[in-house]
């Protein structure tokens, strides 16, 4: 059916407020009588707290001081396991661990007060890498430093080695990555005996914060209220940590009996909050002479930091994506998340998949080189196709066509012509050019039975004026949630986009449509919104208030009249799993995701042999994401993801000193500027997915998966060297190139 609104570029719902500077973010707000909060943190990576002293020159009676003893409920941030303390009591397990909280009416007095709390420790040995954690010396978490492990198996891997023509091995590493949303984390909290605790904040998941506060404050559901305000970027970085900040602000508000604003500055946000998990992946692959992949043994390790937080779910996605978009007759993935004494690593766009896909896509190029195939050929030979099954046994549905995506990407990038030309010209040039491919997939929605367990609800209602509202806990932080959900609702209602608006993301107002993560908003929540909308329309028609055909004004009049007569008009959409979907958490078998998005990216790079800098000169991104709801927003998501991916590959290095981020300033953590970004060419193929809203699948995370492997493949092509670790900085490029071919220094001869 022809759609009127879905598929067009409706303007961003909250866009006018954003371009005018009237959108209100947390630091733009204040409550009467509000105090400012600050956090006293650990200054060692691991040890026992032996003494806390307060310097005498500070007038402490003016400050509110909160310690773990002030926590009415349980001293932990509720996520998957509850091992993450809200405030450290006796032990600290990483730098920047919160120990004590302060509040004062004058925000300028807090920094000095924070540094005037003297904490003494008995230091204990600490560990700072996957390798150290594996050695279990010392054990810093549980009994073996292992936060979580999975074993995923298909076929008979052990039997495959004997008749393999080639066995190819490789080890790949990825570094931590900082989200660097331009708005730092922050919340405002208020508390009263009657109303309980109310928190306004920059966040992705109001109900995560809600749940965590109930445990911490020992309050019933209705005494905790969480309201998301305009959020200035998140990328996963505001999935778990806002629960921590909200907890701190709530504790201060309760003790001070005043509202508290707790907003981090950049240095604190970078040093203390989560990053993308560093990883190490080992591949061992059996390949036949004709290029067929026979079997793989993949050993996957993530550095989870000091507490388990979200590592188990990140590891799960990494495990499932480890084999990439290829068919494996046999595959074994052993995956572990290790504890180290760094601040916990957390959710970041891609959620484990970028690490795994970097490894497999770099490895595919090395397989191609080892068996004398081109990178294109070996991929084509082994692509997942309709009817084949993934490593979890999920059957690929009709319509998936990686061959076509690859062909289109190669054409759009003039791949063959450039590859040949670069190879001919490079020997004579100081600027070595290269071109590289990455083919990949990204599962949309929660892994496995996650959606079924979540049982999300979305609803719609009408105001007395007859405006239609979408009620969800799915939040806007730049990706376009508000816009696409209103588009979907308007489409389903058969009215104008402007007649639909979003209810405030307030846990007292909206139902729990689940967290805003995992590329699930368009596909899963959008579908629920669409069914709530259909229900609203049915109610109005069945009750005789509305007659088809109608225009927007008719609909609004009908809704308004209905509300006046009957008190309210509202409908809910409940999650229903697509039929024949089955998942077994123990064996890791079944439908891992409702749907996958597919993509092929091509990066063109230049490696300068004077300063060893790699620049990305051109980028082509072809993807199949189901129905594209809003082309301008979708293109922006892809371009933004690619920019982050370029940073991940070439610029963004977290410099660790003993588990402490030492470059925690924007000046020293390098993201791309307008002068580092190549032209990006974005193409969509649309194969509608029947169980997503108007055929949509997930899109938000996909574009971070491809750039790093495509770029490193291109750099390896340009330099005829193997680069297997990111971030790849000029210093690393130099280390390989200087001792080889590009040594300079002969006399100039005319």
Partner 1 sequence: MTNQRITMTVNGVDRTIEAYPMERLLDVLREKLQLTGTKEGCGEGECGACSVLLNGELVNSCLVPVAQAANSRVITIEGLGSPANLDPVQEAFLRYGGSQCGMCTPGMIVAAKYLLNHNPHPSPEEIREGLSGNLCRCTGYMRIFEAVEMASRAQRGKSAT
Partner 2 sequence: MRACPEHFNLVSSGSLSSVLGMLASDRGKWLPIAGGTEIMVLFSAGKLQQRNLINLWNLAELREIRVNEDTVSIGGGCTFSQIRSHPVIAAEFPLLALAAGWIGGVANQNRATIAGNLANASPAADSPPALLACEAEIELISARGTRRLPYTQCHLGYKRTVIAPDELIYAIQLPRKFSGWCTYARKVGTRNAQAISKVCIAAQAKIDFGRIQTIRIGMGSIAPIPLQLSQIEQLLAGCPIDRIPLVESRKLLDTAITPIDDIRSTKTYRRQVAGNLLEECLRTLAGTGA
Tokens of 129: 């890498």
The answer to the question of residue 590 lying near partner 1 (CB under 8 A) is: no
Query: Nearer Cβ to ligand FES, position 73 or 233?
Result: 233
To partner 1, the closest distance from the beta carbon of 528 in angstroms equals 24
DSSP calls for 523-551: IIIHHHHHHHHHHHHHHHHHTTS--SS--
- Strand residues in 105-195 grouped as ranges (E): 117-123, 146-154, 166-174, 186-192
Rounded to the nearest 10°, the torsion over CA 657, 659, 660, 664 is: 90
Query: Nearer Cβ to partner 1, position 33 or 397?
Result: 33
Q: Do 86 and 69 meet the contact criterion of CB atoms below 8 Å apart?
A: no
The answer to the question of residue 399 lying near ligand FES (CB under 6 A) is: no
Which member of 73, 105, 155, 233 binds partner 1 (CB under 8 A)?
233
Q: Do 276 and 173 meet the contact criterion of CB atoms below 8 Å apart?
A: no
Q: Which does 633 bind (CB under 5 to 8 A by kind): partner 1, partner 2, ligand FES, none?
A: partner 1
Q: Is 418 helix (H, G, I), strand (E, B) or coil?
A: helix
110 secondary structure, DSSP code: H
Query: Nearer Cβ to ligand FES, position 478 or 641?
Result: 478
Residues 165-184 close enough to bind partner 1 by CB under 8 A:
179-183
To partner 2, the closest distance from the beta carbon of 328 in angstroms equals 39
Reading phi first (left if > 0) and then psi (alpha if -120 to 50, else beta), residue 646 is in alpha
The answer to the question of residue 675 lying near partner 1 (CB under 8 A) is: yes
Q: Which does 738 bind (CB under 5 to 8 A by kind): partner 1, ligand FES, partner 2, none?
A: partner 2
To partner 2, the closest distance from the beta carbon of 655 in angstroms equals 6
Q: Do 83 and 93 meet the contact criterion of CB atoms below 8 Å apart?
A: no
Q: Which residue has the tokens 């549980």?
A: 142
The answer to the question of residue 233 lying near ligand FES (CB under 6 A) is: yes
Give, to the nearest 10 degrees, the angle between helix 526-542 and helix 481-493. Answer: 30
Residues 469-488 close enough to bind ligand FES by CB under 6 A:
478
Query: Nearer Cβ to partner 1, position 247 or 628?
Result: 628
Number of H-type helices and E-type strands within the chain: 20, 28
Query: Nearer Cβ to partner 2, position 9 or 663?
Result: 663
The answer to the question of residue 632 lying near partner 1 (CB under 8 A) is: yes
Largest CA distance in the chain: 95
Residues 559-578 close enough to bind ligand FES by CB under 6 A:
none
Q: Which residues bind partner 2 (CB under 8 A)?
A: 108-109, 111-112, 265, 267, 430, 609-613, 615, 651, 655, 662-663, 667-668, 670, 672-676, 730-731, 734, 738, 744-750
The answer to the question of residue 346 lying near ligand FES (CB under 6 A) is: no
To partner 2, the closest distance from the beta carbon of 616 in angstroms equals 11
Tokens of 560: 């308004």
Residue 118 phi, psi dihedral angles, 5° rounding = -95, 120
Which member of 3, 8, 14, 557 binds partner 1 (CB under 8 A)?
14
The Cα-based distances of 624 to 211, 320, 479 in angstroms read 36, 19, 18
Q: Which does 644 bind (CB under 5 to 8 A by kind): partner 2, partner 1, ligand FES, none?
A: partner 1
Q: Which does 464 bind (CB under 5 to 8 A by kind): ligand FES, partner 1, partner 2, none?
A: none
The answer to the question of residue 182 lying near ligand FES (CB under 6 A) is: yes
To ligand FES, the closest distance from the beta carbon of 107 in angstroms equals 16
CB atoms within 10 A of CB 476: 23
The Cα-based distances of 160 to 88, 154, 291 in angstroms read 50, 12, 15
Nearest Cα to Cα of residue 84 among 322, 346, 377: 346
Kindly list the residues in this chain that would bind ligand FES in the complex (CB under 6 A).
182, 233, 478
Give the binding site for partner 1 (CB under 8 A): 9, 11-12, 14-25, 27-28, 179-183, 230-235, 265-266, 477-480, 632-633, 635-636, 638-644, 665-667, 671, 673-675, 677, 679-680
């Amino acid at each position: 059916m022809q759609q009127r609104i879905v598929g067009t570029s409706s303007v961003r719902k909250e866009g006018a407020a954003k371009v005018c500077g009237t959108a209100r973010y947390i630091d733009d707000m204040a409550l009467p009588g509000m105090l400012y909060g600050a956090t006293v943190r650990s200054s060692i990576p691991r040890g026992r707290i032996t003494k806390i002293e307060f310097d005498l020159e500070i007038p402490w009676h003016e400050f509110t001081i909160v310690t773990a003893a002030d926590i009415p409920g349980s001293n932990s941030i509720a996520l998957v396991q509850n091992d993450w303390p809200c405030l450290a009591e006796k032990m600290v397990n990483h730098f920047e661990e919160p120990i004590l909280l302060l509040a004062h009416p004058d925000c300028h007095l807090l920094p000095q007060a924070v540094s005037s709390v003297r904490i003494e420790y008995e230091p204990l040995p600490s560990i700072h890498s996957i390798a150290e954690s594996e050695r279990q010396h010392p054990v810093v978490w549980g009994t073996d430093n292992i936060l979580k492990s999975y074993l995923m198996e298909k076929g008979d891997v052990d039997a495959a080695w004997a008749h393999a023509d080639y066995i190819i091995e490789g080890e790949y590493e990825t570094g931590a990555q900082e989200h660097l949303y331009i708005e730092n984390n922050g919340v405002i909290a208020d508390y009263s005996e009657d109303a309980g605790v109310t928190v306004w904040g920059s966040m992705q998941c109001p109900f995560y914060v809600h749940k965590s506060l109930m445990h911490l404050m020992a309050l019933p559901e209705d005494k905790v209220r969480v309201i998301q305000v305009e959020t200035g970027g998140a990328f996963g970085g505001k999935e778990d940590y806002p629960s921590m900040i909200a907890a701190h602000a709530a504790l201060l508000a309760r003790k001070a009996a005043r509202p508290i604003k707790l907003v981090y500055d950049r240095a604190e946000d970078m040093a203390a909050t989560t990053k993308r998990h560093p990883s190490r992946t080992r591949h061992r692959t059996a390949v036949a002479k004709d290029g067929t992949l026979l079997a793989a043994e993949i050993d996957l390790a993530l550095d989870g930091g000091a507490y388990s937080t979200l590592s188990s779910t990140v590891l799960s996605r990494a495990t499932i994506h480890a084999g990439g978009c290829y068919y494996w007759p046999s595959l074994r993935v052993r995956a572990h998340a290790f504890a180290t004494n760094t601040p916990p690593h957390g959710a970041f766009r891609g959620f484990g998949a970028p690490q795994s896909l970097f490894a497999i896509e770099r490895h595919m190029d090395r397989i191609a080189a080892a068996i004398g195939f081109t990178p294109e050929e070996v991929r084509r030979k082994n692509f997942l196709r309709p009817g084949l099954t993934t490593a979890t046994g999920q059957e690929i549905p009709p319509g998936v066509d990686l061959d076509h995506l690859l062909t289109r990407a190669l054409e759009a990038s003039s791949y063959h012509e450039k590859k040949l030309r670069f190879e001919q010209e490079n020997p004579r040039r100081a600027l070595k050019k290269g071109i590289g491919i990455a083919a990949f997939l990204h599962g949309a929605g929660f892994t496995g039975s996650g959606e079924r367990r979540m049982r999300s609800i979305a609803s719609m209602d009408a105001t007395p004026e007859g405006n239609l509202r979408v009620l969800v806990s799915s939040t806007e932080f730049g990706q376009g949630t508000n816009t696409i959900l209103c588009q979907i609702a308007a489409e389903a209602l058969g009215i104008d986009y402007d007649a639909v608006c979003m209810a405030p993301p307030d846990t007292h107002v909206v139902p729990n449509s689940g967290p805003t993560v995992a590329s699930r908003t368009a596909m899963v929540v959008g579908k629920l919104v669409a069914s709530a909308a259909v229900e609203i329309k049915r109610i109005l028609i069945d009750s005789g208030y509305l007659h088809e055909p109608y225009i927007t004004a008719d609909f609004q009049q009908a809704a308004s009249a209905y509300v006046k007569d009957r008190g309210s008009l509202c409908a809910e959409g409940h999650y229903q799993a697509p039929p024949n979907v089955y998942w077994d958490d123990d064996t890791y078998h079944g439908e891992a995701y409702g749907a996958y998005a597919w993509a092929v990216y091509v990066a063109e790079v230049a490696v300068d042999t004077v300063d060893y800098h790699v620049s990305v000169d051109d980028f082509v991104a072809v993807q199949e994401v189901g129905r594209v709801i809003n082309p301008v927003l979708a293109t922006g998501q892809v371009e933004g993801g690619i920019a982050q991916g370029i940073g991940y590959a070439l610029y963004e290095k977290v410099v660790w000193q003993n588990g402490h981020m030492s470059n925690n300033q924007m000046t020293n953590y390098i993201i791309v500027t307008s002068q580092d970004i190549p032209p990006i060419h974005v193409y969509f193929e649309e194969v509608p997915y029947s169980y997503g809203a108007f055929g949509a699948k997930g899109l938000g995370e996909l574009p971070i998966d491809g750039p790093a492997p495509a770029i490193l493949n291109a750099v390896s092509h340009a330099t005829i060297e193997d680069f297997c670790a990111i971030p790849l900085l000029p210093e690393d490029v130099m280390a390989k190139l200087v001792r080889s071919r590009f040594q300079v220094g002969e006399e100039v001869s005319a």
